[in-house]
Chain A
């Protein structure tokens, strides 16, 4: 191929000598399209977790059950089950930590890709349009991805401090999920925070889930018309499920009573 121009920072698997090539994943990640793949794949991991988390939390509505001859809250049993996952193949808690590390890795990569792509995009238009833009298709969700993402991130930190580590939870008891949930969400400002953060999450997912089909190159006339619907459905299900917990706690449906 005869090329008379000076190339920019092109990585070029095909044109570079083998010894000078970067490792495949690093090479791939160094391009914007590669970073978008990472955004999409880590996004899929995140969406899978969020759906699983929401569905698991619905156990709060099952209230008290009898377990090994004792009266216990169903969601407390579920919490213990997660730690016992894959026992006895793995020791207690190992499988859960494996999943947590996967999730933490996904969040870190998602953040790094988002940050570097944002910087790339800023540099791509250093002088903004001086007149007002008249957007045709870009919607509130797509234009606020960075803000909704940051909101969700701040909320996750709060959420961990509240219900995982217990620093922000009044009278936190390790493993007493139902009690901690009620203690936290009975506070009206906290309930409001949970509702607001989950709406931000829904907005993020509405654009993110649709967007990942494009980034992954999943485009086929047979299912293209479902892509927006899937995004709306997932976003709606997550928002409705998650927002129901603070509302139902304030309404008294989720209400902790000490069991004898």
Chain B
């Protein structure tokens, strides 16, 4: 009886642990999904290659990518191609892409159409790439932590695009800069290497934010 009880206790302890392990998607499962996408082979290969670099580097998580690509597979061939192109562009641009994919998953959770979701995603992507370009060109006075710098770029691009998506005028550069600065201040506590965030905060100016917004909106217009 005691042996049985002990065995059951051991089993009860092991099962959740193994369940937790198995709930973590492996990169191979994500790549398998990409291989099954109804899109051109060159797009599949480029996306798979970008994911192979980004997941181990911590720029994308296999769990979020699995769910995003899993949902994208259910779209029409053209829409699935757009979904993969957005992901690929973010990955090849060196961005942290989980938030971008999560934005799409949020839209799907709201039962929105891909047209509505992709419009927001494309705008977000352009702001993130513009923020990458703008902040990447800065000469920061500190030795930066690469992952924290990526987080700061994400916050800058995301906050600026929030400003536009919330129907605020893109001409209101002061308001946009204030929103971006507020996000960076909040990021300080939630990110390692606060010095990197501080350096970006110090370099932040209405001119820089204005340039980022102008570049992003010009790209979106094309």
Q: Do A and B bind each other?
A: no
Give me the interface of B with A, judged by CB distance under 8 Å: none
